Structure 1
Amino acid sequence: MKTEHLKKNEIDIAVISNDEKIIVDAQSALDLVMTIQYETGETKIVIDKRVICNDLFILSTEIAGEILQKLINYQVKVAIYGDYSHYSSKPLHDFIYESNHGKDFFFVGTKEEAIQKLSST
C-alpha cells in the first residue's frame, strides 16, 4: 500500500493507492482507516477506486452502507476517486449523488478533485 501525506489549506490528508485490492469488506475498510489514523493522526483520506472491491458498488451487498456507517462513527471523511461512468444502477447513482452532497463521503473523478473536496470540508 502506498500512502502519500499532504497538506492543503492547512488540512492534513492521506492519499491511498495500491496495485491490489485493499478494501474488500467493511472490516478491511475499518482496518485501513484505523491504521492511517494510528500512524498519522489523519482523519481525511483520499482513496483510489482501484483498491476497492467491486462489491462496494453493488448496493445490494450492503458493503457501502456498512463502510459509510463505520467512517461516520469514527469521524473520518473519505473521497474515492475513479471512473464511475460504466455503472448503470440508478440506486448507485442516487447513492453517489447523495454522498457527494453530504459532508463525509465523496465520489469524484480525479485525485485532485478528491483532495479539493476534503480540503474544503
Structure 2
Amino acid sequence: MNYTFLGKNNDIVYIQSKDVLIYDAQSALDLIMTVIYEKDCSKIILDKHAICEEFFILSSGVAGEVLQKFSNYFTKLAIIGDFSKYTSKPLHDFIYECNKGNNIFFVSNLEEAVRMIEAAR
C-alpha cells in the first residue's frame, strides 16, 4: 500500500493498493483509523478496485455499513473508477446523491477526486 499526499495543502491521502482494502465495515474502520492516526489526515482517495465488488451491490448492505463509518469518523472519501458497467438504477441514483453531498464522491479520475474533496465543506 502506497500513500501519496495531494491537494493544495497536502491534506488528502491517495492510497494505492493492488489488494482489496475495504470489504466490510471493520476493514473500512481499520483503514480510517490508520490514515487518521498515522498520516494525520481525514480525506482519502481510493481506486475502485481497492473496494470489494459487494460494495456496489446495494442490497448486500456493505456500502451502507462502510460509508457510515466514514461519516461517523468525519472522513471524506473519493472513489475513482468507471461505474458505467453497473446497470443498477438504485446504484446510479446512490452515486448521484453521494456526489451532491460533502463526504463521499464517486469520480472518474484523480484530478476530479482532489477537486471534489477540496471543494467539500
Smaller-chain TM-score bracket: over 0.9
| CA offsets 1:15-47 (integer angstroms, 9 cap, x no match) | 011111111111101101110001111001111
**1:56 partner SS:** helix
Q: Tell me the residue number matched to 2:30.
A: 31
Gaps of 5+ in 1: none
Residue 49 of structure 1 corresponds to: 48
Work out the percentage of aligned pairs sharing the same amino acid. Answer: 52
Cα distance, 1:11 vs. partner?
A: 5.7
Q: How does 1:1-121 map to 2 (within 5 A)?
A: 1-8=1-8, 10=9, 12-121=11-120
Deviations 1:49-89 (A, max 9, x none): 11110000000111101111111110001000011010000
What TM-score, normalized by structure 2, do the two folds share? 0.95
Tell me, yes or no, if the aligned pair for 1:6 and 1:13 is still in contact at 8 Å. yes
SS at match of 1:87: coil
Provide structure 2 residue ranges, at least 5 long, that are not aligned to the other structure: none
SS of 1:3 mapped into structure 2: strand
> 2:6–2:114: 8 Å Cα contact kept in structure 1?
no
Give the CA RMSD over aligned residues: 1.0
Q: C-alpha offsets along residues 95-115 of structure 1, whole Å, 9 cap, x if unaligned?
A: 000000011000000011101
- 2:39 maps to a residue whose letter is T
Runs of 4+ aligned residues of structure 1 deviating over 6 Å after TM superposition are none
Name the CA distance, whole Å, in 2 between partners of 1:69 and 1:30: 10
Q: Give me the TM-score of the superposition, normalised by structure 1.
A: 0.95
SS in 1 for 2:22: coil
